[in-house]
Amino acid sequence: MRTLVTGAAGVIGFELVRRLLERGGDVLALDQGRKGGLEDLERLRERHPGSLSLVRAELGTEILREHARGPFDAVAHLAAIVGVRYVCDHPYETLSVNVRSTLDVCDHALREGCKVFLFASSSENYASGVDAGQVPVPTPEGVPLSIADIALPRWSYAASKIAGEAALFGAAPLGGFVPLVARFHNVYGPRMGPTHVIPELIERCRRRADPFPVFGPEQTRSFLYVDDAARALCILLDAALAGTAPGGVYNVGSPVETRIEDLARLVLEVCGHQGRIEAHPAPPGSVGRRVPDVSKLARLGFQPAVLLEEGVRACWEARKASSEPPRR
């Protein structure tokens, strides 16, 4: 199995590459290293000589033409600008980079050929419909996609992902490949920087913040550990290549709904910090509830294996290790 993975140094991309290599596949990994992680890919390449090709460059048509010759069994397009804080500060860049890169990779798949194209999308695509009472919770894949306020910078990310889904489904009939959309729901892991809720809370514990600010404590999310997310992607790719699963949209997440305040208390307990929780309003555009209906993915044999406490503990141990001096 030969796979092109964009965003290969990212939180999910790296774990997907690692799994594909461990299963004996060949991977062409592309990432510019904007957020780091290239050293991890280099170590993977050393462990799997001849199976991992690494392209360290900004994604674009010329780079793909030069370094990513096909055909491929699968293309997994995970490269994107993410992170609420950065998106809110850079809405045009978010939209431009995410949409252009998706079109570039779709064009490349049409030129070079692939059997399956997997696009990393987001639960943000329907999030505003939850607060508007237009979609059920848990939320299945077939609900209408919506944006609450097109002028709010936060929604540039959802707009880019909605456009990406449309681009993939438009390209698939032209290229004869199976289109897969993975709508991720709050994936987290040890390699993630402090720009998402779990690593942000862990970082506050590391700094012994007291009072301990928690934004939107009444809101809920479902959290999926990154190893489980990568395993879900492999299940989707295998099923699509085997012809046992049709193309389409799949929620990738956990069915367990967790209040943000309960998450904060869990993080405090795992990190051994006694900070007093100080409630703050949720950021503008942040939806009240988010939990997916994952029955479609479950029918392919997927169930999350890592409990939230186990995942948070793994993140905490990794964060502690990264701030310790090198062992002699």
Reduced 3-state DSSP string for the chain: CEEEEECCCCHHHHHHHHHHHHCCCEEEEECCCCCCCHHHHHHHHHHCCCCEEEECCCCCHHHHHHHCCCCEEEEEECCCCCCHHHHHHCHHHHHHHHHHHHHHHHHHHHHHCEEEEEEEEEHHHCHHHHHCCCCCCCECCCCCCCCCCCCCCCHHHHHHHHHHHHHHHHHHHHHCCEEEEEEECCEECCCCCCCCHHHHHHHHHHCCCCCEEEECCCCEECCEEHHHHHHHHHHHHHHHHHCCCCCEEEEECCCCCEEHHHHHHHHHHHHCCCCCEEEECCCCCCCCCCCECCHHHHCCCCCCCCCHHHHHHHHHHHHHHHHCCCCC
The confidence score (pLDDT) of residue 35 equals 83
The confidence score (pLDDT) of residue 322 equals 83
The confidence score (pLDDT) of residue 284 equals 86
pLDDT in tens, the chain (328 residues): 999 999 999 999 999 999 999 999 999 999 998 888 999 999 999 999 999 999 999 898 899 999 999 999 999 999 999 988 899 999 999 999 999 999 999 999 999 999 999 999 999 999 999 989 999 999 999 999 999 999 999 999 999 999 999 999 999 999 999 999 999 999 999 999 887 999 999 999 999 999 999 999 999 999 999 999 999 999 999 999 999 988 999 999 999 999 999 999 999 999 999 999 999 999 888 999 999 999 999 999 999 999 999 999 999 999 998 854 433 2
Dist. CA 125–CA 119, nearest whole Å: 14
Preceding amide of 71 cis, omega within 30? yes
258-259 and 220-221 beta bridge pairing:
antiparallel
Residue 69 tokens read as 């010759």
The confidence score (pLDDT) of residue 323 equals 57
The confidence score (pLDDT) of residue 217 equals 98
The confidence score (pLDDT) of residue 301 equals 97
- Determine how many CB atoms are found less than 10 A away from the CB of residue 69: 13
Dist. CA 316–CA 112, nearest whole Å: 42
Cα–chain center distance at 289: 19
- Tokens 């490949």 identify what position? 177
At residue 250, φ and ψ (nearest 5 deg) are -130, 125
Bridge partners (DSSP) listed for residue 213: 278
